Amino acid sequence: MPLTFEDFPPGRFGTFGPRHVTRDEILAFAAEFDPQPMHLDEEAAGKSMLRGLSGSGWHLCSLMMRMMADGFITRAASLGSPGVDEVRWLSPLRPGDDLTLDVDVLEARTSKSRPGLGIVKFKCTARNAAGQALAEMTSPILIKRREGAV
For residue 2, the minimal CB distance to a copy of itself (Å) is: 12
For residue 58, the minimal CB distance to a copy of itself (Å) is: 5
- Alpha-carbon distance of 129 to 92, in angstroms, equals 13
The pair phi, psi for residue 77, each rounded to 5°, is -80, 60
Angle between helices 57-71 and 23-33 (to 10 degrees): 110
- How many residues sit in the footprint of a copy of itself (CB under 8 A)? 35
Q: Does 75 bind a copy of itself (CB under 8 A)?
A: no
- Alpha-carbon distance of 27 to 55, in angstroms, equals 8
Q: Does 82 bind a copy of itself (CB under 8 A)?
A: yes
β-sheet bridge partners, residue 24: none
The alpha carbon of 147 is separated from its chain's Cα centroid by a whole number of angstroms, namely 28
Nearer to a copy of itself, 108 or 140 (CB): 140
For the segment 35-74, give every residue that binds a copy of itself (CB under 8 A). 35-36, 38, 48-50, 56-58, 61-63, 65-66, 69, 73-74
Question: What is the length of the chain?
Answer: 150
Q: Which of 78, 108, 122, 145 binds a copy of itself (CB under 8 A)?
A: 78
The alpha carbon of 113 is separated from its chain's Cα centroid by a whole number of angstroms, namely 28
Query: Where on the chain is the footprint of a copy of itself (CB under 8 A)?
Result: 29, 32-36, 38, 48-50, 56-58, 61-63, 65-66, 69, 73-74, 78-89, 135, 142
